[in-house]
């Protein structure tokens, strides 16, 4: 077991080294560069996936924000990363409480703010519709992650909410290629990102197939596991590559210049590049 953990750690270190190789050259390439700079679950000083977090994103100058969408027992869309509500609420239970096992009315009675800081006490879990309304109000561009387990009907509903909003386009991200294939049909102008811990040629080819010439398809990868060969695979298929979640200014400044999007809890990459 120890040998396996050491091997995994070495692989992570190697991957990070490859992504950041040629540091001074990457800094030069990144200077004044345009990039998709996405705030992960809202700004990191606020409780994640709450309206307070996205308001703070806007205050900090972010234009793009990422959220996670799950569904309650009564089929209401809410913002939540985990399958359960235990980590980010004050639910009084020693057992895991899954979001799809409780109703919206039940979950709205809980506090989703005080776990982060008492000044956020009383913060409710937002509905997806409230998030979309806030994006309209604050001129924020959403990256909407659809969590595994959603149905085709639920995906269609999420798209319908955007259809009925004033948002021209959005970015959808998911680990399930089927969600993205469906959205390519019903929202043909939206951006689509396939989330993966490790990029494979098979995934890239799958995304190429759902590129309809009107949308933008891209890979969305955990930054520590991106390697130069994987970047070259994206180049071969002309597939954009974005990464998550980076919170080091030096690592962002030195990131491989092919990477066109960075998700961070705190750092606006586009602003950072402008100061290099």
Q: Reply yes or no on whether the pLDDT at 6 is more than 70.
A: no
Instruction: Give the pLDDT mean for 237-244.
Output: 98
Q: Which of 16-30, 39-53, 109-123, 190-204 has the lowest mean pLDDT?
A: 16-30
Q: Reply yes or no on whether the pLDDT at 10 is more than 70.
A: no
DSSP 8-state secondary structure symbol assigned to residue 98: B
Q: Is 25 left (phi over 0), alpha (psi -120 to 50) or beta?
A: alpha
User: Per this entry, what is the length of the chain?
Assistant: 276
* Top-confidence residue, 134 or 6: 134
Q: Reply yes or no on whether the pLDDT at 33 is more than 90.
A: no
Give the bridge partners for 199, in sequence order. Answer: none
Give the bridge partners for 84, in sequence order. Answer: 98
Give the position of tokens 């569904």: 71
Q: Do residues 68 and 145 make contact, with C-beta atoms less than 8 angstroms apart?
A: yes
CA Rg, the chain, in Å?
Answer: 19
Just give the CATH number of 2-274: 3.20.20.190
Q: In this predicted structure, what is the pLDDT of residue 32?
A: 84
Of 182, 179, 171, nearest to 240 by C-alpha is 171
What is the C-alpha to C-alpha distance for residues 88 and 80, in angstroms, rounded to an integer? 9
Q: In this predicted structure, what is the pLDDT of residue 19?
A: 53
Prediction pTM value: 0.92
Q: In this predicted structure, what is the pLDDT of residue 188?
A: 98
Percent of the chain at pLDDT > 90 equals 86
Of 39, 4, 75, nearest to 266 by C-alpha is 39
Element (H, E) at 64: strand 64-71
What is the C-alpha to C-alpha distance for residues 70 and 235, in angstroms, rounded to an integer? 33
pLDDT by residue (tens digit) across 50-70?
Answer: 999 999 999 999 999 999 999
Average predicted confidence (pLDDT) for the chain: 93
Instruction: Give the pLDDT mean for 92-118.
Output: 97
Q: Do residues 144 and 157 make contact, with C-beta atoms less than 8 angstroms apart?
A: no
Burial 204-228 (b: 16+ CB within 10 A, else e): beebeebbeeebebbbbbbbbbbbe
Instruction: Give the pLDDT mean for 83-105.
Output: 96
The residue ranges of every structural domain in the chain are 2-274
Residue 143 CB burial class (10 angstroms; 0-12, 13-18, ≥19) = buried
- C-alpha distances out from residue 144 to 37, 53, 89, 170, 194, Å: 14, 15, 21, 8, 12
pLDDT by residue (tens digit) across 205-238?
Answer: 999 999 999 999 999 999 999 999 999 999 999 9
Going by pLDDT thresholds of 50, 70 and 90, the confidence category of residue 8 is very low
Q: Reply yes or no on whether the pLDDT at 21 is more than 60.
A: no
Q: In this predicted structure, what is the pLDDT of residue 93?
A: 87
pLDDT by residue (tens digit) across 129-173?
Answer: 999 999 999 999 999 999 999 999 999 999 999 999 999 999 999
Q: Do residues 36 and 243 make contact, with C-beta atoms less than 8 angstroms apart?
A: no
Q: Do residues 129 and 141 make contact, with C-beta atoms less than 8 angstroms apart?
A: no
Q: In this predicted structure, what is the pLDDT of residue 108?
A: 98
């Amino acid at each position: 077991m120890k040998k396996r953990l050491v091997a995994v750690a070495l692989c992570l270190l190697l991957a990070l080294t490859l992504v950041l190789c040629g540091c001074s050259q990457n800094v030069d390439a990144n200077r004044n560069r345009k990039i998709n700079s996405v705030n992960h679950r809202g700004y990191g000083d606020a409780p994640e996936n709450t309206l307070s977090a996205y308001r703070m994103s806007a205050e900090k100058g972010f234009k793009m924000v990422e959220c996670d969408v799950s569904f309650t027992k009564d089929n209401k869309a809410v913002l939540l990363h985990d399958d359960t509500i235990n980590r980010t609420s004050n639910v009084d239970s020693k057992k895991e409480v899954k979001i799809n096992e409780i109703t919206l009315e039940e979950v709205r009675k809980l506090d989703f703010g005080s776990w982060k800081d008492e000044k956020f006490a009383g913060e409710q879990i937002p509905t997806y519709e409230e998030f979309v309304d806030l994006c309209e109000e604050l001129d924020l561009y959403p990256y909407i992650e659809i969590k595994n387990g959603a149905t085709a009907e639920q995906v269609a509903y999420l798209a319908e909410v955007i259809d009925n909003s004033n948002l021209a386009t959005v970015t959808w991200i998911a680990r399930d290629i089927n969600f993205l294939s469906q959205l390519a049909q019903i929202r043909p102008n939206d951006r689509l990102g396939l989330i993966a811990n490790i990029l494979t040629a098979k995934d890239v080819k799958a995304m190429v197939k759902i590129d309809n010439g009107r949308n933008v398809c891209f890979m969305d990868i955990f930054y520590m596991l991106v390697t130069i060969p994987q970047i070259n695979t994206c180049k071969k298929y002309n597939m954009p590559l974005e990464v998550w979640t980076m919170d080091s200014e030096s690592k962002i400044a030195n990131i491989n210049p092919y990477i066109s999007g960075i998700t961070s809890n705190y750092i606006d990459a586009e602003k950072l590049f402008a100061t290099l």
